[in-house]
């Protein structure tokens, strides 16, 4: 029975190889929190809190995660008895929300447990794939020509689909240009909730480009508006920000607010909940895929593991580390070959964490 005796956390910022612009903001560096848990036998597990620095994607910023981890979540985990990592989320069920911070600890407990059991994390979660299909997410570029360069590059690398960020003023024209240059490429768009229902003619126009899906067109709470849009579009609507927890998922499934779910381990609060969301959405006839938050190698390896579950039939936003970071914190770094990322066959996350590097780069550390 693992009993976590120490929780350590490290704040660190890594430079992006290419600035990323969405409907709300532009980033050149990302700051995440790495979490290390250890038990009395000296077994160790690592997790990542991949929350944004600014409250544009969700309200849970990196500063808030740091405090929540220190004051509530790490103290709840420390010293508690559990047999299986699926039980740990019950330890912090009184804490409302704070899914990114919970996800970091949940991943670390799954890693600790599956390493100790000698089992690859993907297998511990019930995944049977040997490799997962990878797609890339491309930000808003200064010009359509710049975007075409990016699309050409990742299509040539063999990625299985390309997702384009859109926003009012950067939607139908860039999609038209990419579609004209790549007629057969699996393509989808992500609006990050930047549109109102009064702008729904944009989606009528986008419905003609054979997109695999339109991700999060409206604001997170607008489930009824998403259902009305889905009812009149051929293109599947995909929910991301709208589904933070299993109750919201049940409501979305009941309303028919889409046909596809982007499952993010971070947004949903960990691997256990992500697995339950996968089961429920697939059972209801929706398609699912694994989204990302530009994770460093620790969170990226957790995404690879969950994406090995059988219901993840659409390519995931789990590109190689090299799309984002020149030097990742894990060994070996995550790599895609011809648009496929291998699922590790070694215990736990299947990647070693460069702990000296993490300690050296950390701008702050905490120990509970």
Interface residues toward Mg ion, by CB under 5 A: 190, 215, 240
DSSP for 132-185 reads: EEB-EEE---SSHHHHHHHHHHHHHTT-S-EEEE-BTTBSHHHHHHHHHH-TT-
CB of 23 to ligand OSB, least distance (A): 9
Would you call 131 helix, strand, or coil by DSSP? strand
CB of 208 to ligand OSB, least distance (A): 23
CB of 316 to ligand OSB, least distance (A): 9
Please give the residues from 118 up to 147 whose contact with ligand OSB meets the rule CB under 6 A.
137
Please give the residues from 283 up to 322 whose contact with ligand OSB meets the rule CB under 6 A.
291-294, 317, 319
Q: Which of the listed partners (Mg ion, ligand OSB, none) does 293 bind, with a CB threshold of 5 to 8 Å by partner kind?
A: ligand OSB
The backbone region for 245, taken as left when phi is positive above 0, alpha when psi lies in -120 to 50, beta otherwise, is beta
Based on the number of CB atoms within 10 Å of its own CB, is 185 exposed (0-12), middle (13-18) or buried (19 or more)? Answer: middle
Question: Catalytic one among 93, 102, 163, 264?
Answer: 264
Of 37 and 318, which has the nearer Cβ to ligand OSB? 318
> In Å, what is the CA distance from 77 to each residue of 32, 49, 69, 108, 345?
21, 16, 10, 11, 28
Tokens for 347?
Answer: 């215990």
**Residue 165 appears among annotated catalytic residues:** yes
Of 248 and 319, which has the nearer Cβ to ligand OSB? 319
Binding-residue pattern over the window 183 to 202 for ligand OSB, x denoting contact by CB under 6 A: -------x-x----------
- Per-residue exposure over 314-326, b if at least 16 CB sit within 10 Å of its own CB, e if not: bbbbbbbbebbbe
Q: Rule CB under 6 A: is residue 275 a binding residue for ligand OSB?
A: no
**Residue 264 appears among annotated catalytic residues:** yes
CB of 82 to Mg ion, least distance (A): 32
d(CA 71, CA 368): 9
Q: Which of the listed partners (Mg ion, ligand OSB, none) does 137 bind, with a CB threshold of 5 to 8 Å by partner kind?
A: ligand OSB
Q: Are 10 and 22 in contact (CB under 8 A)?
A: no
User: Of these, 34, 48, 49, 57, which contacts ligand OSB (CB under 6 A)?
Assistant: 57
Question: What kind and span of H or E run contains 74?
Answer: helix 74-77
CB of 168 to ligand OSB, least distance (A): 16
Q: Are 45 and 115 in contact (CB under 8 A)?
A: yes
Of 291 and 348, which has the nearer Cβ to ligand OSB? 291
Tokens for 112?
Answer: 């600790």
Q: Which of the listed partners (Mg ion, ligand OSB, none) does 114 bind, with a CB threshold of 5 to 8 Å by partner kind?
A: none
Q: Which of the listed partners (Mg ion, ligand OSB, none) does 319 bind, with a CB threshold of 5 to 8 Å by partner kind?
A: ligand OSB
Contacts with ligand OSB, residue ranges (CB under 6 A)? 57, 137, 190, 192, 240, 291-294, 317, 319
Q: Would you name the residues annotated as active-site residues?
A: 165, 264
């Amino acid at each position: 029975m693992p009993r976590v005796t120490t929780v350590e956390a490290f704040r660190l910022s890594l430079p992006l190889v290419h600035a990323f612009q969405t409907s709300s903001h532009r980033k050149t560096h990302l700051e995440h929190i790495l979490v290390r848990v250890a038990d009395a036998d000296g077994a160790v597990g690592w997790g990542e809190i991949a929350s944004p620095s600014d409250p544009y994607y969700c309200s849970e910023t990196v500063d808030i995660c740091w405090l929540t981890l220190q004051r509530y979540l790490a103290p709840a985990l420390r010293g508690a008895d559990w047999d299986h990592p699926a039980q740990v989320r019950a330890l912090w069920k009184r804490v409302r929300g704070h899914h990114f911070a919970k996800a970091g600890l949940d991943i670390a407990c799954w890693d600790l447990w599956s390493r100790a059991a000698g089992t690859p994390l993907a297998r511990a979660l019930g995944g049977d794939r040997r490799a997962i299909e990878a797609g890339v997410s491309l930000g808003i570029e200064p010009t359509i020509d710049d975007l075409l360069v990016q699309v050409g590059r990742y299509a040539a690398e063999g990625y299985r689909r390309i997702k384009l960020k859109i926003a009012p003023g950067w939607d139908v024209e860039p999609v038209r240009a990419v579609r004209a240059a790549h007629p057969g490429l699996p393509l989808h768009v992500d609006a990050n909730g930047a549109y109102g229902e009064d702008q729904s003619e944009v989606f009528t126009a986008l419905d003609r480009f054979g997109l695999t899906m339109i991700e999060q067109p409206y604001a997170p709470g607008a489930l009824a508006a998403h259902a009305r849009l889905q009812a009149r579009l051929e293109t599947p609507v995909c929910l991301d920000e709208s589904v933070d927890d299993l109750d919201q998922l049940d409501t979305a499934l009941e309303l028919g607010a889409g046909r596809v779910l982007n499952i993010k381990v971070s947004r949903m609060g960990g691997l256990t909940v992500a697995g339950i969301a996968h089961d429920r959405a697939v059972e209801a006839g929706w398609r699912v895929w694994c989204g990302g938050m530009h994770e460093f190698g620790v969170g990226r390896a957790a995404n690879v593991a969950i994406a090995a579950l059988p219901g993840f039939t659409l390519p995931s936003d789990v590109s190689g580390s090299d799309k984002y970071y020149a030097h990742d914190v894990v060994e070996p770094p995550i790599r895609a070959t011809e648009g496929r990322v291998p699922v590790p066959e070694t215990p736990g996350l299947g990647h070693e964490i460069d702990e000296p590097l993490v300690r050296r780069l950390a701008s702050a550390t905490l120990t509970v």
